[in-house]
Structure 1
Amino acid sequence: MLENFIKSLKSSPKKSGIFNPWWESDKDNDISAQAPAIRRRQLFHYLSERAGKAKYLLLGEAIGYQGGHFTGIPMTSERILLGGHKKRGILPEHVFTGIKPKRTSKASLKPLGFTEPTGTIVWGEIAQTNFSPEDFVLWNAFPWHPFKPESGLLSNRTPNMKEFLSSADILMQLIQITGIKNIIAIGEKSYIVLNQLGVKSLKIRHPANGGATKFRKQFSDILAQVNKGKKYIILAEETICP
């Protein structure tokens, strides 16, 4: 089932400004022609260690060039996979354990690997919880990497709503495969997409653009209420049933 899901990711929109990290090569920045296969393999191990076990889906907006573009895993940077954030309590084995993590960007670009602020904040909070990292699946409402054509692949842009909704079937497949019932939207865009699809979720602040402190507080509040055994969690006037 996971193999078929990863194959379905091949169906990214055929238009300028969208990069598919699992099925396309970044010829200027990839370490070799094997980079997409490495990213697919890492995504497979990441999801296989969580399918049927994870309790929460943390849904961001889209893949970024400093994160999933080179790792194949949403909100996860090469720096994390290479052990560069151990001082922050974030370990490579928090992401997956089945294979040795690999970078796919050229070392000349970033000797220690690319690092993504959002991914570092999210994984940092997960690492500090009483939950297992396998209790969380990180994904995006738009699963591929949208970039600015005029700036090249090492740039990011926010997808438009048409793009978000065009990939709705991918998101619904992921929810079905993982069996997750509890979904936390990181930011307004992913929350709107879930509403459009009729999927119940809880919205928390996106950590970018000065939102890190509020994100941390709202995320920790959710997990604290879960630990207290509350049936319903109330936050920002939204409700989620764990």
Structure 2
Amino acid sequence: MVKSLLILKITLFFLKRFKMRRKKEHVAILKLLSQLRDFTSDNVFNPYRDICSIHDTEGAPNLRLSNLERYLTASLSLRIDAIWVGRDLGYRGGRRTGLALTDEFHLDLAAKSLNTDSFYKSTKTICVKERTASEVWSLINLLDEPPFLWNIFPFHPHEKNDSMSNRCHTKKEFHQASFFFLELMKIYKFNKVFALGRDASNELNYLGVKHSIVRHPSYGGQTEFRKTILLSSGMSIEERTKNYRLDI
């Protein structure tokens, strides 16, 4: 009887600590979302604040912010171990969805992999595919556990007078937004960090974040990207790739 009561007290103690930690983490997520929404910079589209006059529905920024909140919360529940870090959001992918390395065609797969409710489509025009997102999600579909996806610059930088273009963010823009990634790392404490391409790797080095670099899946890097990730998962490449198919 005494032993049972002791076990119960210990269980309740750790349960209380767990709930307090989860509450603290959720507060940090809400703060991060608020900071992301408030970010502004010239020739940068903030999907959580800005509306695209060509493609967006009314209230699109709020839908994308809801998508990101759902993604962050679901990832926290799963205690995801690895993060894949890209460079910027693209005009065919994250600009439209609010999710890194994810286009509208893969929103359902993203929700399924995280065991969460469906993500919102925030555009009024037809879905478009992004090659990087197609490669990333085709590979994630082979893994036992999804990685967390993020961009070192979590917005869409574009050329002046051409919002439907992609460009690399500037050094100034990086310094303005680098704290977002650092705050994210405080919340999730990932054990494995993978940089998708040299640009992301250079900036992770600047931030002092230990990581492994993999070829970016675009521009001919698909094979090396796939091989590196599958080897890191400890799975047989032959077994994992026998059903591999990339839909563009």
TM-score normalised according to structure 2 size:
0.78
1:190-201 alignment to 2 at 5 Å? 190-201=200-211
Measured in 2, the distance between the counterparts of 1:162 and 1:217 equals 34
The match for 2:113 among 84, 94, 101 is 94
Q: Return the alpha-carbon distance in structure 2 between the equivalents of residues 39 and 13 of structure 1.
A: 16
* 1:162-198 deviations in Å (ceiling 9; x for gaps): 3223211100001111221321000001111111011
Equivalent in the alignment of 2:7: none
Distance (Å, rounded) in 2 between the aligned partners of 1:155 and 1:69: 11
Q: How many residues align?
A: 208
2:65 aligned counterpart, secondary structure = helix
The letter of the residue matching 1:119 is A
- Hey, what's the Cα distance between the residues in 2 that align with 1:176 and 1:91? 23
RMSD, aligned α-carbons = 1.8
- Hey, what does 1:77 align to over in structure 2? 103
Task: State the 1:91 CA deviation.
Answer: 5.9
The residue that corresponds to 1:27 in the other structure is 53
| Structure 2 Cα separation of the partners of residues 72 and 95 of structure 1 | 16
SS at match of 1:59: strand
Aligned pair partner of 1:221 in 220, 231, 240 = 231
TM-score by length of 1: 0.80
Corresponding residue for residue 105 of structure 1: 123
Residues 1:95 and 1:77: Cα distance change in structure 2 (over 3 Å): farther
In the other structure, the counterpart of 1:235 is none
Q: What does residue range 161-176 of structure 1 map to in structure 2 within 5 Å?
A: 161-176=171-186
Separation in 2 of the partners of 1:187 and 1:205?
A: 5
**2:105 partner letter:** R
2:151 to 132, 140, 156: 140
Q: Secondary structure at the match of 2:195?
A: strand
Percent identical: 29
In structure 2, distance between residues paired with 1:148 and 1:215:
28
Contact kept, 8 Å, 2:92 with 2:103, in 1: the verdict is: yes
**Contact 1:46–1:96 (CA under 8 A) maintained in structure 2:** no
Unaligned runs of 5+ in 2: 1-27, 237-248
Who is 1:60 aligned against?
Answer: 86
Match of 2:24 in 1: none
Q: 1:55 to 1:117 in 2, by over 3 A?
A: same
Which amino acid in the other structure matches residue 41 of structure 2?
K
Q: Where does structure 1 differ by over 6 angstroms across 4 or more consecutive aligned residues?
A: none
Larger radius of gyration: 2
